[in-house]
Structures are given as structure tokens and as C-alpha cells.
Amino acid sequence: MSSLPVHAPSATLVEGPTDAGPDAPARALPVLTAGSPTGSAPDWAARRRDEIHTLVAEYGAVLLRGLGVGSPAEVAGAAAALGVEPMTERERFAPRRSHAPDVYSSSEWPADEPMCMHHELSYAAEVPGLILFGCLTAPASGGLTRVADSQQILRMLPPELVARFERDGWLLTRMYHEVGVSWQEAFGTRDRTAVDAYCAVAGLDHEWLPDGRLRTRQRRAAVLPHPRTGVPVWLNQAAFLNERTMDPAIRDYLVDVYGPDGLPFNTAHGDGTPLTAETVETINAAYRAASIGEPWQSGDLLLVDNLRMAHSRDPYEGERDVVVILGNPVQLAGHVLS
């Protein structure tokens, strides 16, 4: 690992892959290691808060190592010290366990399957500006939380693909039924009128079906300026939530049982045109090429700018306990499209 510049003398850089082309910018994940003894994690985080946020502003994410956080309460304390203001998650697409108010398990996804790159809640009207991950128990192998710079993704994608998404945005359709997350879990209520009110405010078209299922539809911008820097970012989950990213056997089963319009989620161009397999693979290939990460150690924290950096999860073996706090929600101008 190479030494970080003078503003963070105790940090090191984890370099990213070099297969994205000779003109690609350097990519690195800073790792800031606490000295020993550190005192409490919140105290250490409070003392280094400015330095940590400087690193996030420059690199998009920073891994904090050596803090020894061992409980959701300690992660919440560190979040408060870092100025991460928790938000309550709505519209989740995968199950989570709640450990404490606004402290969740990372998405409960099969250990032997990767979770593709995505920005948390990029389809919601309020998007988390920051995410804090806390590793309570590191897996025996694998399980990295990788990140990829969406500014770089935008430069890597074909101009004609980007132009189409800039013009039309992207469309997310969800069907809430017994497969996947229920509408009660996603919206945090069993009251249909509360869901109606949420959808009206958040720009979701929704329909209650006679059998009690809920269908939602929302159109969002795919490319937006970062609110702090003004730099355009590729901020969407068009590839991740598309049917072509599903295991084909699972997709075929769901289509057979529920019909082509009954998938738990699917995406399209903003004008409703289906995404081609080539488009989905082009986006996912760019994410793979830009991906960087560092194996978890128990007690680590990872602070991520969710508007700039997508994140993913590798398959793993052994017990893995990672919690997450979604924070600092922002409403982005031009994000919700009619």
C-alpha cells in the first residue's frame, strides 16, 4: 500500500484494478487505522471527524480500522460522532433485521450469491447521502463490501447509452406479493392509507390489486449532479434491479407463476422500453472494472458517500455480521420524474 498525502498521514490506500483503460483516473480506497489505545470508538471518531470527511470528499469512501466496534450501539455512537444523521428506511428491496432504531443488518442476501453494485435507495424521493457500515463479525473468507465511483462509471459507459438515460431516465416497477419483501416490510406499516400518503408525496404511481397485492411504478433521473460538487454521477439501479440480473432459473420460475408483469422488481428505460441484455451487461461490466475493496476485519467501519459511490457484496463463507446506518437524506433536484 502507498502512503496517503500529508493531510492524512496515518492512512494507506488500497489500489483499484487497472483494466478500465489507460485514460482512467487512479482509484483507491483510503484505510485510516486507529492507534492503540483508541479509547472509545465515538471519541476517536469525533477527534478525527474533519479528517475522515476530507477523505470521503476526496475518495468517496474511507475504511476506519482498529476501532474494535462490537455492537450496534457502538456503531450508532460512532455515527453520531461523525455527524451521520440516521434516516428510517422505506422501499427496501431485500429483507433486513433491525438491531436498534435506524440500525439495520446489511441486506439479507444468500451467502453464496454476490449482491451487485447499487446506490442505496437511489429510486426513493429521499436518498441517503451517507452510509456507515459496521463489521461486528468478519466472515472466514469473502464477503467484501466493494465500492465503485459513479463519476468514473459515467466516463466508462458508451456515450450513446449515457445520453439515452440522461434523456429518458429509468423506470422501476415493483410487485409486492409473497415472494420477496412485503409491502408491510417495505413501507413500515400495515395501514394502506399510510402507503397511499407516502406514494403521493414520494412520486410513486401505485395500484392495489383485488388479491391484496401492491404494484408501484416510479420514474427517476439516472444521471444527476452531485449536490456538493456539481459533478455528474451515474445514480441509479437500472441494471441491478433489472430482470436480466436475476438468476435465469429464478426469473423463469417467477414469470411462470406470476406472469411477466409479476416480477418483484424490474427496470426499463424511462419511456418504458425494456433494457437489452447488452445494456445491462455493459453497465455491470463497468461496475466490475471500477470495483475496489478491502477484506473486512471485525471492528471496522466503512463510511461511504452514497451519491458518488455504488457498493456491492461478495459471496462469503462463515458467519458475517455487518450492520448499516443510512443517513443524511437528500432530495435531489430533478430526481423524481413524472
- For residue 271, the SS3 value is coil
Taking alpha carbons only, the member of 33, 62, 7 closest to residue 293 is 62
Question: Which residues, in sequence order, are CB contacts of 253 under 8 Å at separation 6+?
Answer: none
What are the grid coordinates assigned to 218, written together? 416510479
Grouped pLDDT means (10 residues each) for the chain, 338 residues: 33 51 54 79 94 96 95 96 95 86 84 93 98 97 97 97 99 93 95 98 97 96 97 98 92 91 95 98 97 96 98 95 97 96
Residue 186 CA, chain-centre distance (Å), reads 16
Question: Which residues, in sequence order, are CB contacts of 24 under 8 Å at separation 6+?
Answer: 18, 152, 155, 156
Separation between Cα atoms, residue 161 and residue 44, nearest integer Å: 44
Domains of the chain: 2-111+120-149+293-330 (3.60.130.10), 154-283 (3.60.130.10)
What is the tens place of the pLDDT at every residue in 240-257?
Answer: 999 999 889 989 999 999
**What one-letter code names the amino acid at 103?**
V
Give yes or no for a contact between 77 and 40, defined as CB atoms under 8 angstroms apart: yes
Q: What is the pTM of this model?
A: 0.91
What is the tens place of the pLDDT at every residue in 264-308?
Answer: 999 999 999 999 999 999 999 999 999 999 999 999 999 999 999
